[in-house]
Amino acid sequence: MSEFLNNIKNQFEKFCGENPSNDIVNDFRIKSFENFNNLGLPTTKDEDWRFTNLNEFYKNQYSIPPTKKEFNKNLISNSISDLDAHFIYLYNGKLVENDNIDNVVIKSLSSFLNEADLNTFNRFVDNHSVKNRDFTFELNSAFINDGVFIDVNEKAVIDKPIVLINYFDSSTSFSSYRNLINFNTLSSGQVVEYTFSDRDINFFSNKTTSFFLGDSTNVEHLSIDESSYHSYIFSNLKISQTNDSNFTTDSILIGGKIYRNNVHPVLNGQGSNSNILGLYLSKENQHMDNYMFVEHVEPNCGSRQLYKGLLKDSSKGVFHGRILVHNEAQKTDAKQTNRNLLLSDKAQVDTKPQLEIYADDVKCTHGATTGQIDKEALYYLRARGINLEDAKLIMIRSFTEELLEFINSNFILELHKKIVEEWFLNSDLAKTD
Protein backbone atom coordinates (compact mmCIF):
# COMPACT_ATOMS: atom_id res chain seq x y z
CA MET A 1 0.00 0.00 0.00
CA SER A 2 2.84 2.43 0.72
CA GLU A 3 4.19 1.87 -2.79
CA PHE A 4 0.76 2.62 -4.18
CA LEU A 5 0.57 5.82 -2.12
CA ASN A 6 4.05 6.88 -3.26
CA ASN A 7 3.08 6.25 -6.84
CA ILE A 8 -0.06 8.36 -6.48
CA LYS A 9 1.92 11.12 -4.77
CA ASN A 10 4.43 11.21 -7.63
CA GLN A 11 1.64 11.27 -10.15
CA PHE A 12 -0.06 14.11 -8.27
CA GLU A 13 3.09 16.23 -8.39
CA LYS A 14 3.53 15.47 -12.06
CA PHE A 15 -0.13 16.27 -12.70
CA CYS A 16 0.03 19.65 -10.91
CA GLY A 17 3.15 20.54 -12.89
CA GLU A 18 1.58 19.64 -16.23
CA ASN A 19 -1.83 21.19 -15.56
CA PRO A 20 -1.27 24.53 -13.87
CA SER A 21 -4.44 26.44 -13.08
CA ASN A 22 -5.57 29.42 -11.02
CA ASP A 23 -5.21 29.72 -7.25
CA ILE A 24 -8.74 28.53 -6.54
CA VAL A 25 -8.18 25.29 -8.39
CA ASN A 26 -4.61 24.79 -7.16
CA ASP A 27 -5.64 25.27 -3.55
CA PHE A 28 -8.57 22.93 -3.97
CA ARG A 29 -6.35 20.23 -5.45
CA ILE A 30 -3.89 20.48 -2.60
CA LYS A 31 -6.63 20.49 0.04
CA SER A 32 -8.28 17.47 -1.58
CA PHE A 33 -5.02 15.58 -1.78
CA GLU A 34 -4.53 16.23 1.92
CA ASN A 35 -8.02 14.89 2.58
CA PHE A 36 -7.13 11.83 0.55
CA ASN A 37 -3.95 11.32 2.57
CA ASN A 38 -5.77 11.80 5.84
CA LEU A 39 -8.42 9.28 4.90
CA GLY A 40 -5.82 6.74 3.82
CA LEU A 41 -6.50 3.77 1.62
CA PRO A 42 -9.38 1.61 2.80
CA THR A 43 -9.12 -2.01 3.83
CA THR A 44 -11.87 -4.49 4.56
CA LYS A 45 -11.68 -3.31 8.17
CA ASP A 46 -13.41 -0.10 7.06
CA GLU A 47 -17.16 -0.56 7.36
CA ASP A 48 -17.78 1.05 3.96
CA TRP A 49 -15.33 -1.32 2.25
CA ARG A 50 -16.02 -4.43 4.28
CA PHE A 51 -16.93 -6.58 1.31
CA THR A 52 -14.43 -5.22 -1.23
CA ASN A 53 -10.80 -6.14 -0.92
CA LEU A 54 -8.56 -3.78 -2.91
CA ASN A 55 -5.22 -5.49 -2.17
CA GLU A 56 -4.68 -6.66 -5.76
CA PHE A 57 -5.46 -3.15 -6.98
CA TYR A 58 -2.88 -1.61 -4.64
CA LYS A 59 -0.18 -3.77 -6.22
CA ASN A 60 -0.47 -1.87 -9.50
CA GLN A 61 1.37 1.26 -10.57
CA TYR A 62 -0.47 3.86 -12.58
CA SER A 63 0.43 7.04 -14.41
CA ILE A 64 -1.62 10.03 -15.50
CA PRO A 65 -2.99 10.04 -19.05
CA PRO A 66 -1.17 11.24 -22.16
CA THR A 67 -2.30 14.28 -24.10
CA LYS A 68 -5.42 14.05 -26.19
CA LYS A 69 -5.62 12.50 -29.61
CA GLU A 70 -8.14 12.13 -32.37
CA PHE A 71 -11.09 9.88 -31.60
CA ASN A 72 -11.61 7.02 -34.06
CA LYS A 73 -15.39 6.80 -33.97
CA ASN A 74 -15.45 3.46 -35.76
CA LEU A 75 -14.59 1.91 -32.44
CA ILE A 76 -17.97 2.84 -31.00
CA SER A 77 -20.55 0.08 -30.93
CA ASN A 78 -23.38 0.56 -33.44
CA SER A 79 -25.91 0.30 -30.65
CA ILE A 80 -24.59 3.68 -29.50
CA SER A 81 -23.35 5.42 -32.64
CA ASP A 82 -26.66 4.78 -34.46
CA LEU A 83 -28.68 6.54 -31.79
CA ASP A 84 -30.58 9.66 -32.73
CA ALA A 85 -28.91 11.91 -30.17
CA HIS A 86 -26.49 14.77 -29.55
CA PHE A 87 -23.00 13.35 -29.01
CA ILE A 88 -20.15 14.50 -26.82
CA TYR A 89 -16.87 12.63 -27.14
CA LEU A 90 -14.30 12.19 -24.39
CA TYR A 91 -11.06 10.40 -25.12
CA ASN A 92 -9.06 9.16 -22.15
CA GLY A 93 -11.12 11.56 -20.05
CA LYS A 94 -10.54 14.64 -22.20
CA LEU A 95 -13.22 16.41 -24.21
CA VAL A 96 -12.29 16.07 -27.87
CA GLU A 97 -15.43 16.91 -29.80
CA ASN A 98 -19.09 17.69 -29.32
CA ASP A 99 -22.24 18.40 -31.26
CA ASN A 100 -23.69 21.87 -30.81
CA ILE A 101 -26.95 21.81 -28.91
CA ASP A 102 -29.40 24.71 -28.77
CA ASN A 103 -29.69 26.27 -25.31
CA VAL A 104 -26.85 24.15 -23.94
CA VAL A 105 -23.32 25.34 -23.16
CA ILE A 106 -20.66 22.65 -23.43
CA LYS A 107 -17.03 23.18 -22.55
CA SER A 108 -14.10 21.16 -21.30
CA LEU A 109 -13.82 21.00 -17.57
CA SER A 110 -10.38 22.63 -17.66
CA SER A 111 -11.76 25.72 -19.43
CA PHE A 112 -14.62 25.81 -16.97
CA LEU A 113 -12.15 25.67 -14.07
CA ASN A 114 -9.96 28.41 -15.58
CA GLU A 115 -12.92 30.76 -16.00
CA ALA A 116 -14.86 30.02 -12.83
CA ASP A 117 -14.97 32.64 -10.07
CA LEU A 118 -14.99 31.45 -6.48
CA ASN A 119 -18.80 31.38 -6.24
CA THR A 120 -19.22 29.31 -9.36
CA PHE A 121 -16.37 27.04 -8.35
CA ASN A 122 -17.85 26.48 -4.91
CA ARG A 123 -21.28 25.86 -6.31
CA PHE A 124 -20.25 23.17 -8.76
CA VAL A 125 -17.05 21.70 -7.43
CA ASP A 126 -16.68 22.28 -3.74
CA ASN A 127 -20.24 22.09 -2.53
CA HIS A 128 -20.77 18.38 -2.07
CA SER A 129 -22.09 16.92 1.12
CA VAL A 130 -19.21 15.69 3.26
CA LYS A 131 -21.36 13.26 5.22
CA ASN A 132 -19.63 10.46 3.44
CA ARG A 133 -15.96 11.12 2.78
CA ASP A 134 -14.54 8.66 0.36
CA PHE A 135 -10.97 8.32 -0.91
CA THR A 136 -12.10 7.95 -4.52
CA PHE A 137 -13.94 11.26 -4.50
CA GLU A 138 -11.12 13.11 -2.70
CA LEU A 139 -8.66 11.71 -5.21
CA ASN A 140 -10.94 12.77 -8.04
CA SER A 141 -10.98 16.28 -6.57
CA ALA A 142 -7.20 16.36 -6.23
CA PHE A 143 -6.78 15.44 -9.90
CA ILE A 144 -9.51 17.76 -11.13
CA ASN A 145 -8.88 18.85 -14.73
CA ASP A 146 -10.39 16.49 -17.30
CA GLY A 147 -14.03 16.00 -18.16
CA VAL A 148 -16.81 18.16 -19.46
CA PHE A 149 -19.07 20.92 -18.18
CA ILE A 150 -22.64 20.95 -19.52
CA ASP A 151 -24.94 23.83 -18.69
CA VAL A 152 -28.58 23.65 -19.75
CA ASN A 153 -30.31 27.03 -19.96
CA GLU A 154 -33.36 27.93 -17.93
CA LYS A 155 -36.60 26.50 -19.36
CA ALA A 156 -34.74 24.63 -22.08
CA VAL A 157 -36.23 21.34 -23.15
CA ILE A 158 -33.45 19.49 -24.94
CA ASP A 159 -34.88 18.11 -28.16
CA LYS A 160 -32.77 14.96 -28.31
CA PRO A 161 -30.94 13.00 -25.61
CA ILE A 162 -27.31 13.89 -24.94
CA VAL A 163 -24.97 10.93 -25.24
CA LEU A 164 -21.58 11.31 -23.63
CA ILE A 165 -19.10 8.79 -24.91
CA ASN A 166 -16.03 8.07 -22.81
CA TYR A 167 -13.42 6.00 -24.57
CA PHE A 168 -10.15 4.75 -23.09
CA ASP A 169 -7.37 3.30 -25.22
CA SER A 170 -4.41 1.18 -24.28
CA SER A 171 -2.24 4.21 -23.52
CA THR A 172 -4.45 4.96 -20.54
CA SER A 173 -3.27 3.95 -17.15
CA PHE A 174 -4.80 6.28 -14.61
CA SER A 175 -7.73 8.40 -15.59
CA SER A 176 -9.46 10.87 -13.36
CA TYR A 177 -12.20 13.01 -14.81
CA ARG A 178 -15.27 14.85 -13.71
CA ASN A 179 -18.40 15.65 -15.62
CA LEU A 180 -20.52 18.52 -14.30
CA ILE A 181 -24.04 18.64 -15.63
CA ASN A 182 -26.21 21.55 -14.64
CA PHE A 183 -29.90 21.82 -15.41
CA ASN A 184 -31.18 25.31 -14.67
CA THR A 185 -34.71 26.03 -13.44
CA LEU A 186 -37.54 24.46 -15.44
CA SER A 187 -35.27 22.73 -17.92
CA SER A 188 -35.44 19.07 -18.82
CA GLY A 189 -33.53 16.43 -20.75
CA GLN A 190 -31.99 13.01 -20.94
CA VAL A 191 -28.31 12.25 -20.53
CA VAL A 192 -26.60 8.97 -21.34
CA GLU A 193 -23.03 8.24 -20.30
CA TYR A 194 -21.51 5.40 -22.26
CA THR A 195 -18.05 4.27 -21.23
CA PHE A 196 -15.90 1.72 -23.00
CA SER A 197 -12.25 0.89 -23.51
CA ASP A 198 -9.86 -1.20 -25.54
CA ARG A 199 -10.19 -4.84 -24.58
CA ASP A 200 -8.14 -6.38 -21.80
CA ILE A 201 -6.36 -3.20 -20.69
CA ASN A 202 -5.64 -2.73 -17.02
CA PHE A 203 -6.39 0.84 -16.09
CA PHE A 204 -7.56 2.74 -13.08
CA SER A 205 -10.59 4.85 -13.77
CA ASN A 206 -11.70 7.31 -11.14
CA LYS A 207 -14.65 9.25 -12.43
CA THR A 208 -17.20 11.57 -10.96
CA THR A 209 -20.38 12.78 -12.55
CA SER A 210 -22.17 15.56 -10.70
CA PHE A 211 -25.70 16.55 -11.58
CA PHE A 212 -27.20 19.82 -10.42
CA LEU A 213 -30.94 20.02 -10.77
CA GLY A 214 -32.56 23.42 -10.42
CA ASP A 215 -36.16 24.02 -9.37
CA SER A 216 -38.80 22.09 -11.31
CA THR A 217 -36.32 20.30 -13.53
CA ASN A 218 -36.91 16.88 -14.98
CA VAL A 219 -33.87 14.79 -15.83
CA GLU A 220 -33.31 11.15 -16.78
CA HIS A 221 -29.87 9.60 -16.78
CA LEU A 222 -28.48 6.29 -17.96
CA SER A 223 -24.93 5.18 -17.31
CA ILE A 224 -23.48 2.18 -19.13
CA ASP A 225 -19.94 1.02 -18.42
CA GLU A 226 -18.47 -1.61 -20.69
CA SER A 227 -14.80 -0.99 -19.89
CA SER A 228 -12.22 -3.77 -19.99
CA TYR A 229 -12.69 -6.71 -17.63
CA HIS A 230 -9.18 -6.00 -16.30
CA SER A 231 -9.85 -2.43 -15.23
CA TYR A 232 -10.46 -0.99 -11.80
CA ILE A 233 -13.37 1.40 -11.94
CA PHE A 234 -14.29 3.82 -9.20
CA SER A 235 -17.33 5.83 -10.04
CA ASN A 236 -19.03 8.57 -8.11
CA LEU A 237 -22.42 9.81 -9.18
CA LYS A 238 -23.49 12.83 -7.16
CA ILE A 239 -26.82 14.50 -7.55
CA SER A 240 -27.93 17.71 -5.95
CA GLN A 241 -31.65 18.38 -6.28
CA THR A 242 -33.60 21.54 -5.45
CA ASN A 243 -37.35 22.18 -5.19
CA ASP A 244 -39.75 20.03 -7.19
CA SER A 245 -37.03 18.44 -9.28
CA ASN A 246 -37.39 14.93 -10.65
CA PHE A 247 -34.43 12.73 -11.34
CA THR A 248 -34.12 9.16 -12.55
CA THR A 249 -30.75 7.49 -12.87
CA ASP A 250 -30.22 4.01 -14.21
CA SER A 251 -26.81 2.35 -14.14
CA ILE A 252 -25.82 -0.76 -16.06
CA LEU A 253 -22.52 -2.16 -14.83
CA ILE A 254 -20.86 -4.54 -17.24
CA GLY A 255 -17.09 -3.95 -17.28
CA GLY A 256 -14.35 -3.78 -14.70
CA LYS A 257 -12.50 -6.34 -12.64
CA ILE A 258 -13.43 -4.45 -9.54
CA TYR A 259 -16.17 -1.88 -9.87
CA ARG A 260 -17.08 0.49 -7.09
CA ASN A 261 -20.26 2.35 -7.88
CA ASN A 262 -20.97 5.16 -5.44
CA VAL A 263 -24.31 6.87 -5.95
CA HIS A 264 -25.09 9.86 -3.80
CA PRO A 265 -28.27 11.83 -4.39
CA VAL A 266 -28.93 14.72 -2.06
CA LEU A 267 -32.54 15.86 -1.90
CA ASN A 268 -31.94 19.47 -1.06
CA GLY A 269 -35.25 21.01 -2.06
CA GLN A 270 -38.83 20.33 -1.06
CA GLY A 271 -40.98 18.20 -3.29
CA SER A 272 -38.11 16.62 -5.15
CA ASN A 273 -37.99 13.02 -6.17
CA SER A 274 -35.20 10.63 -7.08
CA ASN A 275 -35.37 7.20 -8.71
CA ILE A 276 -32.10 5.34 -8.32
CA LEU A 277 -32.02 2.28 -10.52
CA GLY A 278 -29.22 -0.10 -11.29
CA LEU A 279 -28.37 -3.43 -12.80
CA TYR A 280 -25.03 -5.08 -12.15
CA LEU A 281 -24.23 -7.84 -14.59
CA SER A 282 -21.20 -9.75 -13.41
CA LYS A 283 -19.40 -12.86 -14.58
CA GLU A 284 -16.14 -14.75 -14.17
CA ASN A 285 -14.23 -13.13 -11.29
CA GLN A 286 -15.76 -9.68 -11.49
CA HIS A 287 -16.52 -7.85 -8.30
CA MET A 288 -19.20 -5.15 -8.35
CA ASP A 289 -19.74 -3.06 -5.26
CA ASN A 290 -22.67 -0.66 -5.20
CA TYR A 291 -22.62 1.90 -2.45
CA MET A 292 -25.82 3.91 -2.28
CA PHE A 293 -26.02 6.95 -0.07
CA VAL A 294 -29.35 8.71 -0.33
CA GLU A 295 -29.46 11.90 1.67
CA HIS A 296 -32.80 13.52 2.50
CA VAL A 297 -32.14 17.07 3.66
CA GLU A 298 -35.45 18.86 3.03
CA PRO A 299 -39.04 17.76 3.77
CA ASN A 300 -41.56 16.18 1.38
CA CYS A 301 -39.12 14.38 -0.85
CA GLY A 302 -39.22 10.87 -2.21
CA SER A 303 -36.54 8.42 -3.21
CA ARG A 304 -36.87 4.99 -4.72
CA GLN A 305 -33.86 2.71 -4.98
CA LEU A 306 -34.12 -0.43 -7.03
CA TYR A 307 -30.86 -2.25 -7.64
CA LYS A 308 -30.74 -5.66 -9.19
CA GLY A 309 -27.80 -8.01 -9.57
CA LEU A 310 -27.41 -10.83 -12.05
CA LEU A 311 -24.33 -12.80 -11.08
CA LYS A 312 -22.70 -15.55 -13.06
CA ASP A 313 -19.68 -17.81 -12.47
CA SER A 314 -17.55 -16.84 -9.46
CA SER A 315 -18.48 -13.19 -9.53
CA LYS A 316 -19.34 -11.20 -6.46
CA GLY A 317 -21.75 -8.39 -5.83
CA VAL A 318 -22.19 -5.95 -3.00
CA PHE A 319 -25.09 -3.69 -2.27
CA HIS A 320 -24.74 -1.22 0.55
CA GLY A 321 -27.87 0.86 0.84
CA ARG A 322 -27.49 3.80 3.11
CA ILE A 323 -30.30 6.27 3.66
CA LEU A 324 -29.76 9.36 5.79
CA VAL A 325 -32.82 11.39 6.72
CA HIS A 326 -31.84 14.70 8.32
CA ASN A 327 -33.99 16.02 11.18
CA GLU A 328 -35.65 18.70 9.00
CA ALA A 329 -36.66 16.18 6.36
CA GLN A 330 -40.18 15.39 7.59
CA LYS A 331 -42.58 13.48 5.33
CA THR A 332 -39.71 11.77 3.60
CA ASP A 333 -40.76 8.73 1.60
CA ALA A 334 -37.72 6.56 0.96
CA LYS A 335 -37.82 3.07 -0.40
CA GLN A 336 -34.96 0.72 -1.06
CA THR A 337 -35.00 -2.66 -2.79
CA ASN A 338 -32.10 -4.90 -3.71
CA ARG A 339 -32.68 -8.15 -5.54
CA ASN A 340 -30.12 -10.63 -6.75
CA LEU A 341 -30.29 -13.60 -9.04
CA LEU A 342 -27.37 -15.99 -8.74
CA LEU A 343 -26.70 -18.00 -11.87
CA SER A 344 -24.06 -20.18 -10.27
CA ASP A 345 -23.40 -21.83 -6.92
CA LYS A 346 -20.13 -19.94 -6.76
CA ALA A 347 -21.57 -16.46 -7.24
CA GLN A 348 -22.06 -14.45 -4.09
CA VAL A 349 -23.73 -11.27 -2.90
CA ASP A 350 -23.40 -9.26 0.27
CA THR A 351 -26.20 -6.85 0.89
CA LYS A 352 -26.55 -4.43 3.72
CA PRO A 353 -29.10 -1.73 4.46
CA GLN A 354 -28.15 1.18 6.68
CA LEU A 355 -30.89 3.57 7.70
CA GLU A 356 -30.17 6.66 9.75
CA ILE A 357 -33.32 8.59 10.46
CA TYR A 358 -33.36 11.79 12.49
CA ALA A 359 -36.85 13.01 11.57
CA ASP A 360 -39.91 11.47 13.22
CA ASP A 361 -42.54 11.60 10.48
CA VAL A 362 -41.04 9.58 7.66
CA LYS A 363 -41.69 6.46 5.65
CA CYS A 364 -38.58 4.44 5.08
CA THR A 365 -38.56 0.85 3.88
CA HIS A 366 -35.92 -1.53 2.69
CA GLY A 367 -35.79 -5.09 1.48
CA ALA A 368 -33.33 -7.47 -0.09
CA THR A 369 -33.60 -10.87 -1.71
CA THR A 370 -31.05 -13.25 -3.17
CA GLY A 371 -31.86 -16.49 -4.90
CA GLN A 372 -31.40 -18.75 -7.88
CA ILE A 373 -33.73 -19.34 -10.79
CA ASP A 374 -36.86 -20.99 -9.41
CA LYS A 375 -36.64 -24.67 -10.35
CA GLU A 376 -40.40 -25.19 -10.24
CA ALA A 377 -40.89 -22.32 -12.66
CA LEU A 378 -38.25 -23.74 -14.99
CA TYR A 379 -39.99 -27.13 -14.93
CA TYR A 380 -43.32 -25.46 -15.67
CA LEU A 381 -41.90 -23.63 -18.71
CA ARG A 382 -40.19 -26.78 -19.95
CA ALA A 383 -43.36 -28.82 -19.50
CA ARG A 384 -44.86 -26.47 -22.09
CA GLY A 385 -42.17 -27.31 -24.63
CA ILE A 386 -39.71 -24.48 -23.98
CA ASN A 387 -36.07 -25.60 -24.03
CA LEU A 388 -34.06 -25.37 -20.83
CA GLU A 389 -31.86 -22.56 -22.19
CA ASP A 390 -34.81 -20.52 -23.40
CA ALA A 391 -36.66 -21.16 -20.16
CA LYS A 392 -33.69 -19.84 -18.20
CA LEU A 393 -33.53 -16.78 -20.41
CA ILE A 394 -37.23 -16.11 -19.87
CA MET A 395 -36.73 -16.28 -16.12
CA ILE A 396 -33.65 -14.04 -16.26
CA ARG A 397 -35.43 -11.50 -18.45
CA SER A 398 -38.43 -11.43 -16.16
CA PHE A 399 -36.00 -10.71 -13.32
CA THR A 400 -34.23 -7.79 -14.99
CA GLU A 401 -37.30 -6.24 -16.57
CA GLU A 402 -38.73 -5.05 -13.27
CA LEU A 403 -36.40 -2.06 -13.62
CA LEU A 404 -38.09 -0.92 -16.81
CA GLU A 405 -41.25 0.00 -14.95
CA PHE A 406 -39.46 2.98 -13.44
CA ILE A 407 -38.00 4.39 -16.65
CA ASN A 408 -40.13 7.05 -18.36
CA SER A 409 -37.95 7.95 -21.29
CA ASN A 410 -38.57 5.64 -24.20
CA PHE A 411 -35.08 6.35 -25.51
CA ILE A 412 -33.46 5.20 -22.27
CA LEU A 413 -35.80 2.25 -21.99
CA GLU A 414 -34.96 0.94 -25.45
CA LEU A 415 -31.24 1.49 -24.97
CA HIS A 416 -31.32 -0.23 -21.59
CA LYS A 417 -33.06 -3.25 -23.12
CA LYS A 418 -30.66 -3.42 -26.05
CA ILE A 419 -27.53 -3.28 -23.89
CA VAL A 420 -28.86 -5.93 -21.50
CA GLU A 421 -29.85 -8.24 -24.37
CA GLU A 422 -26.35 -7.84 -25.83
CA TRP A 423 -24.86 -8.87 -22.51
CA PHE A 424 -27.17 -11.89 -22.40
CA LEU A 425 -26.01 -12.89 -25.88
CA ASN A 426 -22.32 -12.46 -25.01
CA SER A 427 -22.52 -14.26 -21.71
CA ASP A 428 -23.52 -17.76 -22.63
CA LEU A 429 -26.30 -17.72 -20.09
CA ALA A 430 -27.40 -21.23 -20.97
CA LYS A 431 -24.16 -22.54 -19.53
CA THR A 432 -25.10 -21.87 -15.94
CA ASP A 433 -24.94 -24.45 -13.19
Partner 1 sequence: MLEIVDLHAKIEDKEILKGLSLKINEGEVHSIMGPNGSGKSTLASILAGKEDYDITDGDILFNGESILEMAPEERAQEGIFLAFQYPIEIPGVTNSYFLREALNSIRKSKGENPLKPVEFVKIAKEKIKNLKMDESLLNRSLNEGFSGGEKKRNEILQMSILDPCMSILDETDSGLDIDALQIVANGVNSHRSPDKSFLVITHYQRLLNYIVPDFVHVLVGGKIVKSGDKSLALELESKGYSWLES
Stretch that binds partner 1, among 23-31, 78-86, 167-175, 392-400 (CB under 8 A): 392-400
Which of 75, 377, 425, 430: binder of partner 1 (CB under 8 A)? Answer: 377
Q: Is 369 in the site for partner 1 (CB under 8 A)?
A: no
By beta-carbon proximity to partner 1, the closer residue of 115 and 374 is: 374
Q: Cα(269)–Cα(298) distance, rounded to whole angstroms?
A: 6
Q: Is 380 in the site for partner 1 (CB under 8 A)?
A: yes
Which of 58, 201, 394, 417: binder of partner 1 (CB under 8 A)? Answer: 394
Which of 386, 421, 422, 424: binder of partner 1 (CB under 8 A)? Answer: 386
Stretch that binds partner 1, among 27-35, 286-294, 399-407, 419-427 (CB under 8 A): 399-407
Q: Is 388 in the site for partner 1 (CB under 8 A)?
A: yes
Q: Is 382 in the site for partner 1 (CB under 8 A)?
A: yes
306 contacts 276 by C-beta, under 8 angstroms: yes
Q: Is 360 in the site for partner 1 (CB under 8 A)?
A: no
Q: Is 399 in the site for partner 1 (CB under 8 A)?
A: yes
Q: Cα(19)–Cα(110) distance, rounded to whole angstroms?
A: 9
Q: Is 381 in the site for partner 1 (CB under 8 A)?
A: yes
DSSP character string of 2-71: HHHHHHHHHHHHHHHHHS---HHHHHHHHHHHHHHHHH----TTSGGGTT---HHHHT------------
Number of residues that bind partner 1 (CB under 8 A): 22
Q: Cα(49)–Cα(54) distance, rounded to whole angstroms?
A: 9
Stretch that binds partner 1, among 114-122, 290-298, 327-335, 385-393 (CB under 8 A): 385-393
DSSP state of 153: P
Ramachandran category for residue 108: left, alpha or beta (phi over 0 → left; psi -120 to 50 → alpha): beta
Q: Cα(105)–Cα(326) distance, rounded to whole angstroms?
A: 34
Helix crossing, 410-426 with 388-400: angle to 10°?
150
By beta-carbon proximity to partner 1, the closer residue of 80 and 252 is: 252
Stretch that binds partner 1, among 23-31, 81-89, 140-148, 376-384 (CB under 8 A): 376-384
Minimum separation from the CB atom of position 432 to partner 1 (A):
16
Minimum separation from the CB atom of position 389 to partner 1 (A):
10
By beta-carbon proximity to partner 1, the closer residue of 358 and 380 is: 380
Q: List the interface residues with partner 1, window 76-115 (CB under 8 A).
A: none
198 CB neighbour count, 10 Å cutoff: 15
Which residues lie below 8 Å from residue 313, measured CB to CB, with a gap of 6+? 283, 284, 285, 343, 344, 346, 347
85 contacts 191 by C-beta, under 8 angstroms: no
In 3D, which of 236, 232, 113, 224 has the Cα closest to residue 172? 232
Q: Is 201 in the site for partner 1 (CB under 8 A)?
A: no
DSSP state of 333: E
By beta-carbon proximity to partner 1, the closer residue of 56 and 401 is: 401
3-state SS, residue 114:
helix
Q: Is 390 in the site for partner 1 (CB under 8 A)?
A: yes
Residues forming contacts to partner 1 in the complex (CB under 8 A) are 374, 376-377, 379-388, 390-391, 394-395, 397-399, 401-402
